[in-house]
Amino acid sequence: MSRRLAARYVGFIGFLRENGMQVASADGADALRVAEQSGQFDASLLRWNLRALLCSRAEDWRRFDGLFDAYFLPPNRQKTVETHAGGAGHVDLAGEAGGLRDSSDGTPLASAGGTDGDDTDGATAQHGASLDEALGQADFRHLHQPEELQALDALMRQFARRLRLLALRREQLASTGRRIDLARTIRRSIAHGGVPLDLAWRKPRTQRPRLVLLLDVSRSMSLYSFFYLRLARALSLLLTDVHCFLYHTRLIGVAEALRDPDAWRAQERLQLLSAGWAGGTRIGDCLAEFNEHHAGRLLHARSAVIIVSDGYDTGAPQRLVSALVGLRRRARRVVWLNPLASRPGYTPSSAGMQAALPHLDLFAPGSDLASIARVLPQLLQALH
């Protein structure tokens, strides 16, 4: 292959990367090999082969043809091409309702949960819940302001690491246990002429639960949403089996966007997903939506669901109850973190919270890292 042609393919790898696909440098050499094998004159074959080689996710797969056309075909032969960096992945925007534009921009973490029990709590509560959905987009720059937030990130990573420690080997050797380790027992018995005098045991391990985070990002939660989103990102980057959804009047899956290793691209993708951020809340509806579309896939006997919300719900409490009952049936644990509960004298008096309480494994305060650190032992125990 000529150097010019080789450069063209290497350029394509760079182009894919610029467009948000995770392509390793090592793929360049393979791409050249594939291009050589496919021949230069059969565009379809080249496309199929490069697609199989360079895509690794459904999201990449859907975008590949457009990117291939954009790079290799002359402009007049291109179809619709997505050139915007960082696709948002599959987002179900069906049922997107119109509503008043909301000016709330999301609040920098520095002012959100920096200190425990600051006087912003009262202000948050006053927002309450409303029916309208904000169509404005949240400002995710706050998700990655490097300097002031580094310390907080480190703490979150620590939290994630402690969670990771819950993952032990499925079955481990033990001095006593429920099941004999036959291989080892036999080895030890050779010296005794096959008499198993010295038994080796195995005991079952406990496993880290799958985490499903459902974060309320309605207006009344705006002071805390970014904090939890950062926590979700820290968890997603450190642990593999974390699934995060945001909800307000609708439910939006953001697991893939949060897991994006490129902070700025993650921010951009969240931006695309954030329509409706800081509007009203319909907790029951959103949880029901989760049950309907995602629970079958995500929840099993090892899943723990963490709901983060202040409990200000504009929907009917009965709806919330039936959704929670549905969740409880499928998941191992359902935990509710309420930022307002960190305030002294807080009682869960809102109708939503009252309705939800009997159906939770743990109800705990959590307005910032300090309060989460305080309930961490309880939380870890509940998640186990």
Partner 1 sequence: MTSARMHTVLTLQRQLQQLGYVAEPGLAATLLLMTAMGRPLLLEGEAGVGKTEIAKVLAQVHQTRLIRLQCYEGLDAHSTLYEWNYQRQLLAIKLLDDDTRSVAEKEQDIFSERYLLRRPLLEAISSPTPVVLLIDEIDRADEAFEAYLMELLSDFQVSIPELGTIKAVSRPIVILTSNGTRELSDALRRRCLYQYVDYPGFEKELLIVETRLPQMPLQLARQVVEFVQALRQMDLQKKPGIAETLDWAAALLQLGVSRFDEEGLDGIMASLSALVKTQADGASLSRVVVQKLAAAC
Stretch that binds partner 1, among 3-11, 115-123, 179-187, 313-321 (CB under 8 A): 179-187
Contact between 24 and partner 1 by CB under 8 A: the answer reads yes
* Interface positions, 82-101, toward partner 1 (CB under 8 A): none
Q: In Å, how far are 116, 153, 233, 356, 366 from 373, measured between CA atoms?
A: 11, 14, 17, 24, 9
Query: What is the smallest separation between the CB atom of 297 and partner 1, expressed in angstroms?
Result: 6
Stretch that binds partner 1, among 72-80, 102-110, 133-141, 185-193 (CB under 8 A): 185-193
Task: Pick the closer one to partner 1 by CB: 187 or 384.
Answer: 187
Stretch that binds partner 1, among 6-14, 55-63, 130-138, 328-336 (CB under 8 A): 55-63
Task: Pick the closer one to partner 1 by CB: 8 or 33.
Answer: 33
230, HSE (Cβ side, Cα atoms, 13 Å): 32
Contact between 230 and partner 1 by CB under 8 A: the answer reads no
In angstroms, rounded to a whole number, what is the distance separating the alpha carbons of residues 195 and 291? 55
Q: How much is the CA Rg of the chain, to the nearest whole Å?
A: 25
In angstroms, rounded to a whole number, what is the distance separating the alpha carbons of residues 375 and 360? 15
Query: What is the smallest separation between the CB atom of 218 and partner 1, expressed in angstroms?
Result: 24
Task: Pick the closer one to partner 1 by CB: 251 or 337.
Answer: 251
* Interface positions, 240-259, toward partner 1 (CB under 8 A): 240-241, 255-256, 259
In angstroms, rounded to a whole number, what is the distance separating the alpha carbons of residues 91 and 254? 9
* Interface positions, 300-339, toward partner 1 (CB under 8 A): 300, 302
What is the longest distance spanned by two Cα atoms in the chain?
Answer: 83
Contact between 45 and partner 1 by CB under 8 A: the answer reads yes
Contact between 41 and partner 1 by CB under 8 A: the answer reads yes
Contact between 38 and partner 1 by CB under 8 A: the answer reads yes
- 286 alpha-carbon distance from chain centroid: 16
Residues interacting with partner 1, by CB under 8 A?
Answer: 22, 24, 30, 33-34, 37-39, 41-42, 44-45, 47-49, 51-53, 55-58, 60-62, 169-171, 182-183, 186-187, 189-191, 193-194, 207, 210, 240-241, 255-256, 259, 292, 296-298, 300, 302
